[in-house]
Amino acid sequence: MKTVQKYKICRRLGPGVFEKCQTAKFVLSEARHAKGLKSRRPKPLSGYALQFVEKQKVRFMYGISEKQFSNYINEAVAHKGTLATEYLFELLETRLDNVVYRLGLAHTRRLSRQMVSHGHITINGKKTTIASQRIHIGDVIAVRPGSSKSVLFADMAKKMKEYTLPNWLTFNADTLSGVMQGKPKNAEGYLDLNTVLEFYSR
């Protein structure tokens, strides 16, 4: 997806959707765009529109199709013993491509998905190319030995010094491997998953 397209989506859904929209370049682009809108007053969104926007925000953020997301919704609603919003967040965050991104091995989810599909990542020592594969507590996610010399993973120890790892993951820069040690929680509250569930309950 082109940068211009991503900027338009972020303008509509929020800067947290894509990593490219969390840069100084995007801020400058937004400032220029805002100058041309000073005379316009945005229309308030309806309840349905707000729910749709929130749903799209989640979809674009994790880079999943409508069908995949709908399946996650159905699984979260049917799951017993955990709030649907909490379980939905867990399903999204424990996708392999997202875990690779959260470990700091890739600076975008799109790149992490490519790493997985090209066979650079292993789970518990076994290579996989399925980006949507679910990771569980205790699983070891690592760079395949044959890929460790790739430029994709160069200077990883230095990069990790500037990266804050989520508390549900651990990472060893020397072995290029990480472990899922807990369940992810939507502590930041950026995603309003209650609103998303309301959209699908219509």
Which CATH number fits the domain 3-91+191-200, given the four candidates 1.10.1050.10, 3.30.465.10, 2.130.10.10, 3.40.50.300? Answer: 1.10.1050.10
- CATH topology match: 3-91+191-200 vs 95-180: no
pLDDT at 121 over 80: yes
- Kindly report the average pLDDT of the chain as a whole number: 86
Domain ranges of the chain: 3-91+191-200, 95-180
Instruction: Provide the CATH topology of domain 95-180.
Output: 3.10.290
Give me the helix-helix angle, 3-13 and 24-35, nearest 10°: 70
pLDDT number for residue 85 = 95
| Residue 48: φ, ψ to 5° | -65, -45
pLDDT number for residue 202 = 80
pLDDT at 158 over 70: yes
pLDDT at 128 over 70: yes
DSSP string, 84-145: HHHHHHHHHHTBHHHHHHHTTS-SSHHHHHHHHHTT-EEETTEE---TTPBP-TT-EEEE-G
pLDDT number for residue 157 = 87
Per-residue pLDDT tens digits for 4-52: 566 566 665 665 666 656 555 555 555 565 555 555 556 676 888 889 9
